[in-house]
Chain A
Amino acid sequence: MMTVRRHPVLGAVGGALIGLGIGLLFVMFEVAPLDAWTIVASIVFFALIGLIYALVLPPPAVPRS
């Protein structure tokens, strides 16, 4: 029987990195003020997205032989 292997930590860290980068871009383009919460909120939001992505994304179909 096949089992699904998921990587929630990798997903959360990847999401957090995306959040950090986007938060920095927001600050640079003055979309949001340079503030601790600007960056932290962005990191947390995208980390959650990454976590959900890693936990609920359906696994690839198994080819039938």
Chain B
Amino acid sequence: MVHVLFAVDPAIAPVALLASPAAAFELTPDCRLSVQSFDADGQPLDTATGDADGGDGGTRADPLRVEYDGTVRYEGDSGEQVITDQTWGVDVFLVPSPLRGSGPNEEQETTAEGEIDVSSSLPVRVNGLFYVSGQISGDGGACRGNAWFRLVGDPASTVTTVPFWIALVIIALGLFMLWQARPGIVAPVQEIR
């Protein structure tokens, strides 16, 4: 079975982001990927299609919107490439995510479809824009691509997340260091006779 997956993960690598392209949901020639997101109630939220011509949606300016409690359905097609003994993986900001695997593809399929629970792919919940890249390669060919996702949600729900409290702890540590950095008066050492 062909696995071409794109999902979100909160891993953040700002330096890697500097090198990330932003213009299109572009896949290597002969490959195609359609993704559709659904909200927590199962209602359609957004769609994006990636192909060799730049696709539709999934760009930085028009990212695929996903909800933390929602799902993402995907349909992938490797065209005329029959990829066997394949390995696949999804990176977020060029950092490997848990979404990866391998398989022999003994059926020699060139298409695949499935559904991903966004929450199960995310150890922590962080709203915002994510650069996601994925690839599948093996004997017979390879497909690679990248896209932008936006994890949307009620900002108020952010205060229940671990990253929010980590940010507060970092700020508190910074305030403590600033307090320690305030100028002090040093008395001269007096010679004892």
How many interface contacts (CB-CB < 8 Å) are there between A and B?
127
Interface centre among A6, A18, A20, A28 (most CB of B within 10 A): A28
Chain B contact patch, size range? 35 or more
Interface flag for A17 (CB, 8 Å): yes
What residues of chain A lie closer than 8 Å to B182, measured between beta carbons? 7, 53-54, 57
- Which A residues are within 8 Å of any B CB, using their own CB? 1-8, 10-11, 13-22, 24-25, 27-30, 33-36, 39-40, 46, 50, 53-54, 57-60, 62
Asked whether B181 lies within 8 Å of A30 as measured between CB atoms, the reply is no
Query: What is the interface of chain A mostly: helix, strand, loop, or mixed?
Result: helix
State A17–B128 Cα separation when bound (angstroms): 21
Q: Tell me the nearest residue of chain A to B128, going by C-beta.
A: A34
Interface centre among A8, A19, A30, A53 (most CB of B within 10 A): A30
What residues of chain A lie closer than 8 Å to B40, measured between beta carbons? none
What would 10 more interface pairs be, CB under 8 Å, given A10-B180, A14-B180, A19-B174? A4-B185, A11-B178, A14-B174, A14-B175, A14-B178, A17-B171, A18-B175, A22-B171, A30-B128, A50-B181
